[in-house]
Amino acid sequence: MQQYHCNTTQRSWKKGSILEKLGICTKPTFLKWSSSAMPAGSEPRYTIDTKFDNVTVRIYQPKGLSTGQRGIIYLYGGAGLFGSIKGYRKLCRYFSRESESVLVCVGQRLAPKHRCPTQIMDCITATEYFLKNASDYGVDPNRIVIAGDSTGAGIVPLVYQHLLTRKDLPKVRAQILLYPNIQTLDYNVPSYQQNRNVPLLFTKWSAEFELRFMNVKLAYLDQFLKGAHVSEEMKMKYKKWIHADHIPDEFKVRGYKPPPPVPFSKELHEMMKLSLDPKHCALLVEDDIVRQLPETFMLTCEYDVLRDDGLLYKKRLEDNGVPVTWHHAKEGFHGIVSSVDWFFEWPCGRVAAEHVTSFIKRF
């Protein structure tokens, strides 16, 4: 099943490459179309497509709608380039059904048409609206959690950090981070080396997606992978939070080689500056903000380039007294939870999804 899923993704990427060379569309545009075009199955009876302050959302409501229900705000992945509400319909339906929650899937506008930080602002806008109007959807505003996967999971804490300035809104109870993409400083931590060619997310793809998201030419890809966009001063400043030394030894047994020094590129740094801003990178915010974050569920996968992003953020949260419920999928790879309820469902994806729903039901 993993091989099938991998081959499907690789075929889509290759087809997208051909279309991009022909000038028909970009690779991310084709990936977005191909994921959304998959058979939908029967939609649940209680599904609403609407807008929250001009942000497109889809609301999944469990059967037997009542008042005082728990709510989930879901921020999908896709590198800010090709995620979609339709592509996440089965996963969102599953979480709503199994946790008996009203779930709001937020439709982010995508790059390159909509530049960063549009995606973050869309998620913030929709979240604020739902918190203010939760009772209109049968939701107790004090029982809301924010969840996301991959780049969506990287946005989740950014949304919560913004909400810390909104004393007029109810507090979000928890954050759920599924294999979060949460830093772009170091593409040479152990998981990026060990899993560089492991589906569904190769190291090169991860870096390429980030460059495309920031509208930077792919000619800079090699420099970006080596870390030329980060100055020595910045590396030293954030070494206390982002470094292979903070990864437990058990996650280095499959191999790790410290990267050689690389000349700093001021030009590349300027182009990537926004992605290195603490407002857009949750791992770079100061401790006084981190310690205000809510209880967290963290999913990491052994065969995922983003594994160490999750481990580093988990350590930061725990070092600041934030309770973390951690599930590590020892056989997992990037995107496993999204296989739930599809014909190619991966067993460890189902197990991980069940851990998520158990966590949600606590609130």
225 neighbors 210 (Cβ within 8 angstroms): no
**Is residue 57 one of the residues assigned to a domain?**
yes
Element (H, E) at 139: strand 139-149
- The CATH number of residue 54's host domain is 3.40.50.1820
Q: Which residues have CB under 8 Å from 39's CB, separation 6+? A: none
Selected catalytic residue, list 5, 280, 327, 334: 334
Is 17 domain-assigned?
Answer: no
The pLDDT assigned to 264 comes to 98
- The tens place of each residue's pLDDT in the chain, 363 residues long, gives 444 444 555 555 555 555 455 444 565 654 544 544 444 444 545 799 999 999 999 999 987 767 899 999 999 999 999 999 999 999 999 999 999 999 999 999 999 999 999 999 999 999 999 999 999 999 999 999 999 999 999 999 999 999 999 999 999 999 999 999 999 999 999 999 999 999 889 999 999 999 999 999 999 999 999 999 999 999 999 999 999 999 999 999 999 999 999 999 999 999 999 999 999 999 999 999 999 999 999 999 999 999 999 999 999 999 999 999 999 999 999 999 999 998 889 999 999 999 999 999 999
Active-site annotation holder among 35, 84, 96, 150: 150
Q: Please state the φ and ψ torsions of residue 117, each to the nearest 5 degrees.
A: -100, 30
Residue 350 lies in a domain: yes
Q: Which domain holds residue 96?
A: 45-360
Active site residue 150: yes
What single string gives the DSSP state of each residue in 206-221? Answer: HHHHHHHHTT--GGGH
Q: What angle do CA 59, 70, 317 make, to 5 degrees?
A: 105
Amino acid at the residue 97: R
334 is catalytic: yes
d(CA 109, CA 150) in angstroms, rounded, equals: 16
In the chain, the number of structural domains is 1
Q: Which of 260, 277, 263, 248 is nearest to 185 (CA)?
A: 277
Q: What CA–CA distance (Å, rounded) separates 108 from 118?
A: 8
Q: What residues have CB less than 8 Å from 360, skipping those under 6 apart?
A: 70, 72, 95, 99, 101, 145, 147, 176
- 48 forms bridges with which residues in the sheet? 59
End-to-end CA, the chain? 34
Active-site residue, from 122, 186, 304, 308: 304
Q: How many CA atoms lie within 13 A of 344 on its CB side?
A: 15
Residue 19 is classified by DSSP as: H
